[in-house]
């Protein structure tokens, strides 16, 4: 029993720390789909992020109960703790499954979505930096084209284009105008890879956070169960 109490007290502090980690992951996913909403049309794709936020908020009282039970066993607190752990397991399982599923589904849509924006972009060699969706992406991620700057040459209606959009320019080259004569001033990497990296990081972060947290919660269930075994069953009315 003393070991179970110690484990619960330790897990209580771990739950508070993982609440912060879950909140970070949830906010990252929500902001990513909000910032690139012109690439991801389905609003439900941010659902794993909202579930992660709900998990983070539920972890706070769960951690308080774990620490409280480790100090002084209360039958009502132990029952409530079990209910919260069950709720958390449901939230995390759903969040992890959706994150894994959406990661695969949205990755396959990214290339066609970016290619469409590039080919629909109406640009000419001018001093206008442009504020279209693809310009915003290229400036924010410091990238150029789908795979590299040559994608703009294929998309151009000119036979021999001499420039690419100014949003392809690296930030350190303030005088860059997208001139193909100064390729070194352009971002080498395409936008597809950078967007995929962001997507994979955000979704897999939530997936592994939920997986590891589920294991810790199962340990908390066992520890709390050990303490509850020593309580007369007829007194556990809350269950």
Q: Are residues 71 and 153 in the same domain?
A: no
Pick from 193, 174, 195, 178: nearest CA to 123: 178
Query: Which residue range is the domain that position 143 belongs to?
Result: 125-191
The pLDDT value given to residue 154: 79
Mapping DSSP onto H, E and C, the string for 108-160 reads: HHHHHHHHHHHHHCCCCCCCCCCCCHHHHHHHHHCCCCCCCCHHHHHHCCCCC
The pLDDT value given to residue 73: 72
- In this prediction, the residues of the chain whose per-residue pLDDT falls under 70 are 122-131, 156-161, 230-239
- Residue 237 falls within a domain, yes or no? no
The pLDDT value given to residue 130: 55
Q: Are residues 98 and 214 in the same domain?
A: yes
Helix (H, G, I), strand (E, B) or coil at 178: coil
What CA–CA distance (Å, rounded) separates 63 from 15? 5
The pLDDT value given to residue 232: 55
- Residue 137 falls within a domain, yes or no? yes
* CB count in 10 Å sphere of residue 133: 16
Q: Are residues 204 and 180 in the same domain?
A: no
Find residue 174's DSSP bridge partners: none
Pick from 55, 197, 191: nearest CA to 116: 191
- Residue 238 falls within a domain, yes or no? no
pLDDT (tens digit per residue) in 157-173:
655 567 788 888 887 77
What pTM was estimated for this model as a whole? 0.78
Q: Are residues 160 and 218 in the same domain?
A: no
- Residue 235 falls within a domain, yes or no? no
The pLDDT value given to residue 159: 58
Q: Are residues 2 and 101 in the same domain?
A: yes
The pLDDT value given to residue 125: 61
CB under 8 Å to 80, separation ≥6 — which residues?
65, 238
Q: Are residues 98 and 134 in the same domain?
A: no
The domain tally of the chain equals 2
Q: Are residues 132 and 219 in the same domain?
A: no
The pLDDT value given to residue 157: 60
Find residue 179's DSSP bridge partners: 163
- Residue 239 falls within a domain, yes or no? no
Mean pLDDT of the chain, nearest integer: 82
Q: Are residues 96 and 204 in the same domain?
A: yes
Look up the CATH number of the domain holding residue 133: 1.10.1450
Q: Are residues 67 and 178 in the same domain?
A: no
The pLDDT value given to residue 119: 81
Token couple for 110: 């990214």
- Residue 220 falls within a domain, yes or no? yes
Q: Are residues 50 and 67 in the same domain?
A: yes
The pLDDT value given to residue 134: 85
């Amino acid at each position: 029993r003393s070991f179970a109490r110690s484990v619960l007290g330790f897990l209580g502090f771990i739950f508070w720390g993982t609440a912060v980690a879950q909140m970070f992951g949830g906010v990252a996913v929500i902001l990513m789909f909000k910032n690139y909403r012109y690439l991801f049309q389905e609003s439900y794709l941010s659902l794993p992020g909202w579930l992660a936020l709900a998990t983070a908020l539920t972890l706070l009282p769960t951690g308080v109960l774990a620490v409280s039970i480790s100090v002084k066993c209360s039958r009502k607190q132990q029952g409530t703790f079990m209910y919260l752990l069950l709720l958390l397991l449901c939230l995390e399982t759903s969040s992890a499954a959706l994150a894994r599923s959406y990661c695969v589904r949205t990755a396959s849509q990214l290339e066609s979505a970016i290619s469409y924006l590039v080919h629909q972009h109406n640009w000419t060699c001018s001093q206008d930096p442009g504020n279209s969706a693809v310009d915003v992406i290229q400036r924010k991620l410091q990238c150029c084209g789908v795979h590299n700057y040559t994608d703009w040459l294929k998309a151009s209606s000119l036979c021999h284009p001499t420039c690419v959009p100014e949003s392809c320019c690296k930030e350190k080259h303030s005088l860059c105008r997208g001139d193909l004569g100064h390729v070194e001033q352009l971002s080498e990497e395409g936008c597809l890879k950078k967007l995929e990296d962001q997507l994979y990081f955000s979704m897999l972060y939530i997936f592994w956070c939920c997986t590891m947290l589920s294991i810790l919660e199962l340990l908390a269930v066992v520890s709390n169960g050990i303490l509850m075994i020593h309580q007369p069953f007829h007194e556990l009315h809350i269950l």
